[in-house]
Structure 1
Amino acid sequence: MPSQTRIRRLAVLGSRFLTVGAISTVIEIAVFNLLHYALGTDLIVAKIVASLVALVNAYFGNREWTFRHRGQHGRVLELVLFLVVNAICTLLGAGIVAVGVGMLASPGPVLVNVVNLVSIVIVVFMRFLFYHFVVFRGVRPSATVGTAGERSGR
């Protein structure tokens, strides 16, 4: 496959991933602020719960839109890999928030949200790599097209 075609496909994949991620990010930030500031939930608990709520949107958005043509795993293995990857990424995000907020002299809502956004950016990059190379890897047999010049997916 020519490199321009690969780059174009990766750009489309990345754009879809970022769209799903943007929606999930809005969900995560809203839930985080609702839990921590409106309901008084502990900072780290609010971060973990918010990440898990956004995760539901992320799974279905990425499975059914971004990576719909990929993934040779069965649904159960795919879901297990997705959950393991996201457990790692959720803990990474919570760790970044804990360390970042701990370094602040007076962590008000704006600075806490800045730290939270930094954690989200880092975790989004890690998730894309994991989704692309681990969770939704390979072409689904049902998505293959037998035309000349295309790969068979196996």
Structure 2
Amino acid sequence: MIKGTDESSLRTQATRFIISGVVSAVVDLSFTAVMQYLFGQSLAVSRTVGFIFGTLSAYMINRRWTFRAEPSVRRFLAVCLLYSVTYLINVGGYKYGFILLSGWGLPDWLSTVIAFVVSQGTATVANFVIQRTIIFRGAR
């Protein structure tokens, strides 16, 4: 493999993954906030709904644009398994981060944003590494 080609591919995929992640995070945070603040749902329920819609957005964008992969039942099931694990990281991090931050006296809206960014960031790094190195490895 030519060194520049591999680095360029990694850079391109990482950039696209970040862009799709931002779009999906906006979807995710929007649903989370609406469920929590407009509908009065619990932290876990709100975050779960947001996570589901954000995850669906991310999968569709990443499969088609970031990794340029054909539809595959195997890949879809692998992504579902991956998202199940990162769901626990994401929702758990959000819940306990929110509780910790609001316990420090931060306003709820700020606790929401910080807890969301930290938990989402952790899940995003894990998702990119696993999707690039395992799930979509041969799709380039």
TM-score of the aligned structures, taking structure 1 as reference length: 0.82
Number of aligned residue pairs = 137
Q: Is the 8 A contact 2:32 2:49 kept in 1?
A: yes
Amino acid aligned to 1:117: V
Q: Does 2:18 match 1:21?
A: no
Percent identity between the two aligned chains: 24
Q: Does 2:55 match 1:80?
A: no
Q: Which structure features the higher share of helix residues?
A: 2
- Look up the SS of the partner of 2:84 in the other structure: helix
Residues 108-117 or 31-40, more deviating: 108-117
Q: Is the 8 A contact 2:97 2:111 kept in 1?
A: no
Amino acid aligned to 1:110: L
| Structure 1 runs, 4 residues or longer, greater than 4 Å off | none
TM-score of the aligned structures, taking structure 2 as reference length: 0.90
Give 1:87 deviation, angstroms. 0.9
Unaligned runs of 5+ in 2: none
CA distance in 1 between counterparts of 2:28 and 2:120 reads 9
Superimposed CA distance per residue, residues 18-67 of structure 1 (whole angstroms, 9 cap, x where no aligned partner): 11111100000110100001110110111111011111111111111111
Q: Is the 8 A contact 1:17 1:128 kept in 2?
A: yes
Amino acid aligned to 2:78: L
Partner of 1:121: 121
CA distance in 2 between counterparts of 1:120 and 1:137 reads 23
Q: Is the 8 A contact 1:81 1:134 kept in 2?
A: no
Unaligned runs of 5+ in 1: 141-154
Q: Which structure is larger by alpha-carbon Rg, 1 or 2?
A: 1
Superimposed CA distance per residue, residues 90-128 of structure 1 (whole angstroms, 9 cap, x where no aligned partner): 111011112212323145121122111111111111110
Partner of 1:95: 92
Give 1:8 deviation, angstroms. 1.2
CA distance in 1 between counterparts of 2:15 and 2:128 reads 11
What is the alpha-carbon root mean square deviation over aligned residues? Answer: 1.7
- Look up the SS of the partner of 2:15 in the other structure: helix
Residues 107-116 or 57-66, more deviating: 107-116
Mapping of 1:1-154 within 5 angstroms? 1-69=1-69, 75-104=72-101, 105=103, 106=105, 108-139=108-139
- 1:139/1:109 Cα in 2 relative to 1: closer, same or farther (>3 Å)? closer
